[in-house]
Amino acid sequence: MTQRLAGVDSIAEITPYAPFVHEALNLHEMLPVLVGGAESYDGGNAQVKDVRGGFFLGRVTATGKFRPCPRTRVNDSADTAAAFVVDDADSFKAGDEITVGDDTALTISSIDYTTNTITVGSSITFADNEPVFCEDGSAAPRGVLRNDLLRLQNVDRTANVDNQGDMIVRGLLKYSSLKGDVAAILEDISADEYEVIKGLYIDDVLTGDIAINAPTPLQTFYYTLADLAADADLSETVIFAAGQAVTIESIYIVPIAASTGVDASNTSAWTVKKGIAGTTLVTQTYDGTPAFPAAGAEARLGDLAAAAKNLALGDVLTLTVTNGTTADLDATLVIINFRPQ
């Protein structure tokens, strides 16, 4: 029986959040965090400012407060429009500034949480499965909200308020207990972001398997490009061979010593392809904007083409470097980050 006393606000029944596979035997760690009332949203709940347990939490850079991790993917046919469907819009809200694929600094004007349709201020060109995430820093997960329900409004529900929540940072969790776009969060984050949550192991209790629903560990391969004198090029050369099926995550270069003579008139053009004379994975031309990296400085070659990121056993990556007349490159380390499939 439920009683309502004068002056006491009544809210919907709370379903206990039971995240642990076996709480009595499960070693886990939690941290107290301040969850922002203005920043947070749970579009799948009738009271959108009552955040349910099970969301990954991210930290807003400007305020230091936490909010449900706003990261998902487009779930719509390729088109040019202001509105598009995503896999899960619950942790996004109107006013958020987001990235969709290659389009940045887009402001959300409205969201239909029933259909998971996000509308931004102007038309963009999007494609199915493109990443969608907020640009406030909170798209990088830090842990999982442990509370059954965290209220982020005052008693009269006239103002947002911050509230302390418990964030799970280590332990064995049930996949079925998590909320938000878990697949996008676990698969689309960077290697550095994954390091923060690697203490969370997620058991897919729906299948009964102890399946870790997190990226396989990132692995790195190093190739050293020999010194290229001024006006010297590297013809297409195999720099990596897949010993198993892998996904290439990123490629960086680090000059071992200073390189000179690279400018707008004497560029240094780098191209990595999947297969000999195959599909371009990434290309970058250094012409002063961007400048060729300094000695010891790490520089990302660029965004990888999705069509060439996945390599089967025996597939290779090749590198071609074409330099201008005065472009004189010292030996350079090429760093290839990949995950086994």
Cα 18 from chain centroid (whole Å): 26
Cα–Cα distance, 240 to 164 (Å, whole number): 48
Q: Region 278-291: what's the mean pLDDT?
A: 93
CA dihedral 213, 15, 23, 187 (to 10 degrees): 10
pLDDT, tens digit, 9 for 90 and up, residues 88-97: 999 999 999 9
**Tens digit of each residue's pLDDT (9 = 90 or more) over 159-214:** 999 999 999 988 888 888 899 999 899 888 887 787 788 778 776 543 333 344 44
CA distances in angstroms from 212 to 162, 178, 204, 283, listed in the order given = 33, 14, 8, 34
Q: Does domain 219-340 have CATH number 2.60.120?
A: yes
Residue 209, φ and ψ in degrees, nearest 5 = -90, 145
d(CA 50, CA 67): 12
Q: Indicate the pTM of the whole model.
A: 0.59
Percent of the chain exceeding pLDDT 70 equals: 89
- What are the backbone dihedrals phi and psi of residue 193, each rounded to the nearest 5 degrees, phi first? -65, -40
Cα→Cα distances 294→64, 210, 222, 299, 327, Å = 33, 46, 18, 9, 14
DSSP 193-228: HHHHTTTEEEEBTTTTB----SPPPPEEEEEEEPPB
CA dihedral 47, 11, 35, 67 (to 10 degrees): -30
Phi/psi class of residue 309: alpha, beta or left (left: φ > 0; alpha: ψ in -120 to 50)? alpha
Both tokens of 210, joined, read 């102890």
Q: Is the pLDDT of residue 16 over 80?
A: no
Q: Longest Cα pair distance anywhere in the chain, in angstroms?
A: 84
3-state secondary structure at position 177: helix
Q: Which residue blocks in the chain are alpha helix, DSSP H?
A: 182-188, 191-196
What are the structure tokens assigned to 300, written together? 């990302």
3-class secondary structure, 68: strand
As a whole number, the mean pLDDT across the chain is: 87
Residue intervals in the chain for CATH 2.60.120: 219-340
Structure tokens at 290: 């961007």
Per-residue pLDDT tens digits for 113-136: 999 999 999 999 999 999 999 999
